[in-house]
Amino acid sequence: MLLHLLKSKLHMAAVTETELHYHGSVTIDRELMDAVGLLPYEKVLIANCENGQRAESYVIEGPPGSKVIKMNGALAHTSSIGDRVIIIAFVSVTEEESRKHDPRVAILNEQNEIIDQFIGEVYPQRDSQTQPLS
């Protein structure tokens, strides 16, 4: 049996471009890809925080340092420039592998700069005052 777990997450990325007349995909700055371990052509789920739309696509590598998050093809219908999105990749692992699995997460600001990042925790505990939601 395989379990599907979070692998990579770019949280609150800002859409910088849209291009309807393109064959599809999402273009992501190579440095942002590397920060969370995304690979070219990897399948991703994109959730738009502005309008609630979700779509699946695959990653195209953008120029390093460009901060680009570009919705191509049909994805261009799901987002407008400036929309904040969550880009998520999952991995299939065995139960044994799941015990050693650590997702990689980066939180971005409006300029697609990483303001926080962590491995192994979706919501890291920053201090003893932090409590999980019940």
List 58, 80, 123, 128, catalytic entry: 58
List 8, 25, 57, 79, catalytic entry: 25
| Dist CA 90 CA 6 (whole Å) | 5
- C-alpha dihedral, 34 to 35 to 40 to 44, nearest 10°: 170
58 is catalytic: yes
Helix (H) or strand (E) holding 97: helix 95-98
Pick from 104, 78, 81: nearest CA to 91: 104
Where residue 16 falls (left for φ over 0; alpha for ψ -120 to 50; beta otherwise) is alpha
123 is catalytic: no
State phi, psi for 99 to the nearest 5 degrees.
Answer: -70, -20
Task: State the catalytic residues.
Answer: 25, 58
